[in-house]
Amino acid sequence: MSALAETSTSPSILPSAPPAPIVFTDSAADKVKQLVDEEGNPELKLRVFVQGGGCSGFQYGFTFDEIVNEDDTSMEKNGVTLLIDAMSLQYLAGAEIDYKDDLEGAQFVIKNPNATTTCGCGSSFSV
122 in a labelled binding site: no
Q: Is 90 helix (H, G, I), strand (E, B) or coil?
A: helix
55 in a labelled binding site: yes
Contacts for 127 with CB less than 8 Å, ≥ 6 apart: 57, 58, 91, 114, 115, 116
Residue 71 near residue 88 (C-beta atoms within 8 A): no
Contacts for 98 with CB less than 8 Å, ≥ 6 apart: 25, 27, 28, 108, 109, 110, 111
119 in a labelled binding site: yes
Sequence ranges of the binding site for iron-sulfur cluster: 55, 119, 121
Sequence ranges of the binding site: 55, 119, 121
